[in-house]
């Protein structure tokens, strides 16, 4: 039995090594074949976008997904992605004819011509959000500056700035800033009214956007926040809630989405050449939760992996404080993968909308979709 276990462990690490080698080789090969006006893809944010950066930091298993059954339906092994398979940026990269964009902290990866992923599960726009366990947005910006310096060294200042101006910068941030006070019993919300707290989150995001803009970045894509109180993990926060949505955190998300829309509209007016895509995850996810069969799902509210009511306890994989968990047989039939994250099937549908959705639909994406951002020079 011990030999069998050793064989499986060896096989797992062999697959990971081969995958990493393959990715590095593919990127190195493409370095010599890059079209003159290639479009890099840079990714910032939290677990919706994290391709595995948290594998390489000293953190809690609550902020990691590098164990089974994460990754079971596509990669066939855990990559650090909080899903059964691929995430939104993986599909966007595919549609843009790019390879999978690797995490910035992946050992041995130092080829940034096509972009890199800075996102960290649990991260917020506020440094204080899960501080010490995640890579906050400000630190992600510092990593971006390192990549910018690397490109300037390799390409020269003018070509590097032109490359950054063609790049698409994708963001998903804010969820943890609003959820963490309730998940950790923090009293921070006692010190600020809701509008002030949201203003702090938006203010930090604005600083990062301006930092990227000053380095040449002109094309940005943003994902707004879902009804946070309605995801499985937040429904069970309050005892006696009877499974209804946790309205207090949903109100914060709603204020954030309004402030984000206002911010981006203002930046477009103020910053020359600034172009953006804002995807309405809020309404798109709500539609799938309320009408799952319309989108090919059987279950819109209960997660595929976890335990408790709605499988809202983040126990998937048995490596976290709660060890017991249940796993559904057909993840593709579920909207939610675990208590806080979505299945590959859901992410693909959302990525499709972000990539090619009509910009005339206010409940979809606009003023540009991501396909248009990649094609604008």
DSSP secondary structure letter of residue 202:
H
Hey, what are 228's tokens? 């946070």
- The neighbour count for residue 361, using CB atoms within 10 Å, is 12
Based on the residue annotation, tell me whether 280 is a catalytic residue of this protein. no
List 180, 338, 339, 345, catalytic entry: 338
- The neighbour count for residue 203, using CB atoms within 10 Å, is 13
Considering just the CA atoms, what is the radius of gyration of the chain in Å? 20
Based on the residue annotation, tell me whether 47 is a catalytic residue of this protein. yes
Q: How far apart are CA 300 and CA 245, in angstroms?
A: 14
**Alpha-carbon torsion 100, 253, 54, 326, what sign?**
negative
List 256, 341, 345, 364, catalytic entry: 341
Q: How far apart are CA 112 and CA 31, in angstroms?
A: 9
DSSP secondary structure letter of residue 222:
E
Hey, what are 294's tokens? 């319309």
- The neighbour count for residue 357, using CB atoms within 10 Å, is 21
Based on the residue annotation, tell me whether 32 is a catalytic residue of this protein. no
Enumerate residues 6+ apart whose C-beta is below 8 A from 138.
127, 204, 207, 208
- Give Cα 53 distance to the centre of its chain: 11
List 47, 172, 315, 339, catalytic entry: 47
Please list the alpha-helical segments (H only) found in the chain: 2-31, 88-95, 137-155, 157-166, 175-183, 194-214, 232-235, 247-270, 281-290, 344-356, 370-375
Catalytic positions are 47, 338, 341
């Amino acid at each position: 039995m011990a030999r069998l276990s050793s064989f499986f462990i060896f096989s797992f690490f062999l697959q990971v090594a081969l995958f990493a080698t393959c990715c590095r080789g593919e990127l190195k090969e493409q370095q010599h074949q890059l079209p003159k006006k290639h479009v890099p893809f840079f990714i910032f944010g939290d677990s919706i976008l994290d391709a595995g950066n948290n594998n390489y930091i000293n953190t809690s298993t609550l902020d990691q997904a590098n164990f089974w059954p994460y990754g079971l339906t596509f990669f066939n092994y855990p990559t650090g992605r909080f899903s059964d398979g691929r995430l939104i940026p993986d599909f966007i990269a595919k549609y843009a004819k790019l390879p999978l964009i690797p995490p910035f902290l992946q050992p041995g990866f130092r080829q940034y011509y096509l972009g890199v992923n800075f996102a960290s599960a649990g991260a917020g726009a506020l440094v204080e959000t899960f501080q010490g366990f995640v890579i906050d947005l400000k630190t992600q910006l510092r990593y971006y500056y390192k990549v910018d310096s690397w490109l300037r060294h390799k390409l020269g200042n003018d070509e590097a700035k032109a490359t950054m101006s063609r790049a698409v910068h994708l963001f998903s941030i804010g969820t943890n800033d609003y959820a963490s006070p309730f998940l950790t019993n923090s009293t921070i919300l006692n010190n600020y009214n809701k509008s002030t707290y949201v203003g702090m989150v938006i203010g930090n995001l604005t600083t990062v956007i301006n930092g990227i803009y000053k380095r040449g970045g002109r094309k940005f894509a943003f994902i707004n926040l879902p009804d946070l109180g309605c995801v499985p993990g937040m429904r069970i926060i309050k005892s006696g809630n009877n499974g209804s949505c946790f309205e207090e955190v949903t109100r914060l998300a709603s204020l954030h989405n309004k402030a984000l829309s206002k911010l981006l509209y203002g930046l477009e007016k103020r910053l020359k050449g600034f172009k953006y895509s804002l995807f309405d995850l809020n309404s798109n996810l709500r539609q799938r939760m309320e009408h799952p069969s319309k989108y090919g799902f059987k279950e819109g509210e209960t997660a595929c992996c976890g335990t408790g009511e709605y499988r809202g306890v983040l126990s998937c994989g048995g490596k976290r404080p709660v060890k017991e968990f249940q796993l559904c047989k057909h993840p593709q039939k579920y909207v939610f993968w675990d208590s806080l994250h979505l299945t590959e099937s859901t992410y693909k549908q959302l990525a499709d909308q972000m990539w090619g959705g009509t910009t005339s639909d206010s409940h979809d994406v606009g003023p540009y979709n991501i396909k248009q951002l990649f094609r604008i020079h």
